[in-house]
Amino acid sequence: QNTAGLNFIQLRTILADVLENRTELTFDLLSALKKEFIEAEAYGMLEFVETDWNLDLVAGHEEAKAHLRQAAHALKNGRPDVLPMGYLVSGPVGTGKTFMITCFAGEIGIPMVKLKNFRSMWQGQTEGNLEKILALLEAMTPVAVMIDEADAALGDRDASGDSGVSKRVFGQIASFMSNPKHRGRIIFFLVTARPDLMPIDLKRQGRAEEHLALFYPSTREAREELLRVMMRRTGVNLPMDEVPEALLNGERTFSGADMEALLTRAKFRAAATNGPVTREILQQTVDDFIPPTYPLEVELQNLVAVLECTSRALLPEPFRTMDREAIVRRIETLKQLI
């Protein structure tokens, strides 16, 4: 498993280097060399996701974290047969979708790679690049694959205007994702704020089988937990009773990204006096901060995530009882307004 994805020549190179320099072949050294070899062979089209984070750093989203921890437990205990072929992770911008999957990479005990831009201006090169990537993934198993902004990255069976490249790319990926031999060995994470723009063929059972939906915190406790995590990430140390009430009362919606940006601005103000962030500085920053507001877009992203979610437990209480036909009608109205 630790050498998956390396060919015979690369293994000989590693062993020759170890013998010549009389160094110990540790897991960390092997992982670093493997990363270099595979990224070089992929010509920058695959990037290893390396992190010391784990799901403990993710605020809220308890049901989604519980599911991912069960998946990590199954992987570590040799039960790939119980895992979904892939995940669709949706939700409004700023809810921490990419961050959560990155943290999951720190828990699973297998490599995770991010699919980067593999498209080329030359005829036939795009399909060749993708074929090389898929062959590398098969050689690396077990491996998890994260595709960010999946609605834009994966093409469409009905696309036109590019000499059929998008159709062929879609066909290659769809066929690869549905191969039953890949269950639990190659796990796809399709991350997007607009799952409605993705082809149904990629979202169906047998490909992205489990649909996780993440939302902004809806309770004071969830907002406090999110703020604590963001304060830890940004190095801001303030007791919760000194935090401005506007951050916690829910009258204004702050995503995790908004909170992180706000705390960073407070640190910027504090740096002018070479001091720490104080209650007064944070209050001034909150009073001055105007988060970018796109209410119709956010509502649309919320509703399409609700519609795609395959677990009622993942939905906040107001969304659980919403009539799905009413959601579809509202989505159509929003698309006309935006």
**What are the residue ranges spanned by the domains of the chain?**
1-41, 43-213, 220-288
Question: Could you give the 3-state DSSP secondary structure of residue 243?
Answer: coil
CATH for the 43-213 domain, from 3.30.1110.20, 3.40.50.300, 1.20.59.20, 3.90.220.20: 3.40.50.300
Query: pLDDT at position 26, please?
Result: 82
Mean pLDDT split into 10-residue runs, the chain, 338 residues = 71 86 81 76 80 86 93 89 94 92 85 84 78 87 90 70 74 92 93 93 90 92 92 92 92 88 95 94 93 84 95 87 93 93
- What is this structure's pTM? 0.83
- Write out the E strands in 208-329: 210-213
CA 106, CA 163: separation in Å to the nearest integer?
40
> What is the rounded distance in angstroms from the CA atom of residue 229 to the CA atom of residue 100?
13
Query: For the domain bounded by 220-288, which CATH number is listed?
Result: 1.10.8.60
Report pLDDT for 216. 92
Cα 329 to the center of its chain, rounded Å = 29
Q: Are 68 and 100 in contact (CB under 8 A)?
A: yes
Amino acid code (one letter) for 303: L
pLDDT of residue 48: 84
The one-letter amino acid code at 130 reads: L
Instruction: Give the distance from CA 307 to its chain's centroid.
Output: 19
DSSP state of 251: S
Omega prior to 244 cis, within 30 of 0? no
